Structure 1
Amino acid sequence: MKKPVQLSENVFLIDDFDLSMAERTGTYVLTEEKVTLIETSASPSIPYILEGLQTLGVSPADISYIIVTHIHLDHAGGAGLMLQHCPNAKVIVHPKGARHLVDPSRLIMGAKAVYGEKFSQLFDPIVEIPEERLVIKGEGDTLEISDRLTLEFLDTPGHANHHFSIYHPLAKGIFSGDTAGIFYPQLDRDGIGFYLPTTSPNQFDPEKMLHSIRRFKELGIERIYFGHYGMSENPSEAFKQVESWLEVFFNEAKQIVLEEKHPEKQVEYITQKLYDKIKNHLTQQGLPEQHPIYELLHLDVTVSAMGLAHYLNMKIGGTH
């Protein structure tokens, strides 16, 4: 168990050990008058969250809100189980995501298609959330969590259509979920600030993603609190890298989809191509070839390759 880390005033991060990996997915704890969690990861992460809260001296009964930026299981899969520990909490969700928390059958089906026989180990149990414990927030909505702090919600598709991000005006920060990509603090500690887009299936849309990132830029933020993983205080570099890699992801994947008609092969080839480019980029910056981050990078790129192949096949008009 890692102790929660304080990132800024009244903002703490608990490592959820998603997929049994450190610094993969985290839960943010806002210790304001109405204690608020942002993200829960999947259900196997709930014991880590409960232990982290105990370390912070926060009782689950004190929690007022559990916010999920979107309903992918690595962000919201544990929300129903967490809610069972939090008798006074409500779950805040995007308008397009609410019905899938009430009835998660389609979420389960989609995750099984991606993770296969590993599904149960990674995600069970997925607990339905009663409709009366959901609060829907969309573009421009706000949530007052103390006299001094009102959070603001932005509709930010690109990674998923059921995605919002949360602006924290006091910290001048955005809880970006997956829209602004992935941050790798493991590399940051080695002096390599590194960010990648996350283009997972099946609602990835590059134009929407770029539009959402433009909105973040217009806010003039000083901090990004990533779904994966942690806080960066260099938003301009994050946006620059994500936009640059998004172009690389798209162009490389498009070439493969045009040449290879079998979907499984497309994903395999896209994964390998992007992974090789990323590894080459990092080794050129002095990162050892045996660095443990490569395991996580390969996983992230594999999931992104699935989303790229799906989007491009739909766009190009194929029926593969």
Structure 2
Amino acid sequence: MTKPVDLGYRMSLIDLYDLRMPQRTGTYVLHEENVAVIETGPSPSVPHLLAGLKALQIDPTDIRYIIVTHIHLDHAGGVGLLLEHCPNATVVVHPKGKRHLADPSRLIAGAKAVYGAQFDALFDPIVPVPEERLIVKEDGETLVLSAERTLTFYDTPGHANHHFSIYDSYSGGVFTGDTIGVFYPQLQEAGLAFCLPSTSPNQFDPEAMERSAERLEKLNPTRIYFGHFGALDQPGEAFRQLRFWLPKFVAAGNEAIARHPEAPVAEQAKAAAQRLRHDIIAFLNEHGVPSSSPAYAAIELDLQVCAMGIIDYWKKKQQ
């Protein structure tokens, strides 16, 4: 495993090796009187999370809060399994996500529809969270971790309706989950801070995503803490790139449907992904990113799922 990264501000980042890939999904550990972790990743990542806590000399029994920005399985699928190791922890979730953590049957069915035969390897097991160990945070509510650190929760739909983002008073940063996209830290070696929207099915809403981004930008954050992956000290760049790429993502879906109106949804998504792949590769080539960069594999995985969400968005618009 990779040693947890010290991000300063009494915060560490544990690489969860989601999909067996480094720098894919991470857990943030807040070292406070009330120890908190933000995001768990899927269940196959929980051993990496526990190993990271051990490296940080944190006993799981010391964790007081397990916070998930939203309930998609790559962010929260492991919460029930992790909770079995954290007897003193409470899970903090968006109001619209609570019932799905208590009864994950619909989450499981939705993920199986997207990932098919890969589901077990990617996400199994999905362990229900006892209702008495779940608390919700409404828009604007706070959680005090210490005298110096208070977390404030903001309802930020766009990627999902059950999504909040979290402002950290101590660092001045915001944990954005997937609301303003995915950050590819592999490209920093090429001198590029690169982000793409996360438009996975089935609640993607570009207008809501833009409104959520605007709301977070008004907080004037010093950092963005992405669910995928890591901290970006140039928050303005993240917002700028979202506004640059989001219209291109939406247009790619519209174009794919217009060109292939009678094609199955899977074929339309494939066409949308192909269009985006062309644009992204051209952009990266212009910025001198070598074709050998590991970022390409991560981007390719994201495009497959993002394209499905874009087509789903347009299909709903046509109804």
TM-score in same-fold range (> 0.5): yes
Correspondence for 2:280 among 275, 278, 282? 278
**Aligned residue identity for 1:105:** S
**Which structure 2 residues correspond to residues 87-102 of structure 1 after superposition, within 5 A?**
87-102=87-102
Tell me the secondary structure at the aligned position of residue 268 of structure 2. Answer: helix
**Which structure 2 residues correspond to residues 137-286 of structure 1 after superposition, within 5 A?**
137-261=137-261, 262=263, 263-286=265-288
Q: Is the 8 A contact 2:10 2:30 kept in 1?
A: yes
Deviations 1:17-61 (A, max 9, x none): 001000000000000100000000000000101010011110000
Residue 291 of structure 1 deviates from its aligned partner by 2.2
Once residues 303 and 283 of structure 1 are traced to their aligned partners in structure 2, the CA distance between those partners, rounded to angstroms, is: 23
Please state if 1:52 is matched with 2:60. Answer: no
Please state if 1:38 is matched with 2:54. Answer: no
Deviations 1:254-307 (A, max 9, x none): 111123232111111011110111011101111112322211111111111000
**Aligned residue identity for 2:219:** L
**Aligned residue identity for 1:300:** D
Tell me the secondary structure at the aligned position of residue 85 of structure 1. Answer: coil
For 2:299, the equivalent position in structure 1 comes to 297
**Aligned residue identity for 1:302:** Q
**Which structure 2 residues correspond to residues 15-164 of structure 1 after superposition, within 5 A?**
15-164=15-164
What count of residue pairs does the alignment treat as equivalent? 317
Q: Is the 8 A contact 2:35 2:64 kept in 1?
A: yes
Counting aligned pairs with the same residue, the percent is 54
Once residues 143 and 59 of structure 1 are traced to their aligned partners in structure 2, the CA distance between those partners, rounded to angstroms, is: 21
**Aligned residue identity for 1:65:** Y
For 1:13, the equivalent position in structure 2 comes to 13
Please say which of residues 217-226 and 280-289 is displaced more in the overlay.
280-289
Residue 8 of structure 1 deviates from its aligned partner by 2.3
**Aligned residue identity for 1:199:** T
Deviations 1:187-206 (A, max 9, x none): 01221110100000000000
Tell me the secondary structure at the aligned position of residue 171 of structure 1. Answer: coil
Correspondence for 1:288 among 287, 290, 297? 290
TM value normalised by structure 1? 0.98
For 1:308, the equivalent position in structure 2 comes to 310
Tell me the secondary structure at the aligned position of residue 301 of structure 1. Answer: helix
Residue 138 of structure 1 deviates from its aligned partner by 1.4
Q: Is the 8 A contact 2:93 2:137 kept in 1?
A: yes
**Aligned residue identity for 1:38:** I
Deviations 1:212-262 (A, max 9, x none): 000111101110000000000101111001111001111121111123232
Once residues 7 and 229 of structure 1 are traced to their aligned partners in structure 2, the CA distance between those partners, rounded to angstroms, is: 13
Deviations 1:153-210 (A, max 9, x none): 0000000000001100121100000001011110012211101000000000000000
Deviations 1:86-145 (A, max 9, x none): 000000000000000011011001111111111001101100000000011110110011
**Aligned residue identity for 1:142:** T
Deviations 1:60-103 (A, max 9, x none): 00000000000000000000000000000000000000000011
Unaligned stretches of 5+ residues in structure 1: none
Q: Which runs of 4+ in 1 moved over 3 A?
A: none
Once residues 218 and 303 of structure 2 are traced to their aligned partners in structure 1, the CA distance between those partners, rounded to angstroms, is: 29
Tell me the secondary structure at the aligned position of residue 108 of structure 1. Answer: helix
Once residues 134 and 61 of structure 1 are traced to their aligned partners in structure 2, the CA distance between those partners, rounded to angstroms, is: 17
Once residues 151 and 14 of structure 2 are traced to their aligned partners in structure 1, the CA distance between those partners, rounded to angstroms, is: 20
Residue 2 of structure 1 deviates from its aligned partner by 0.3
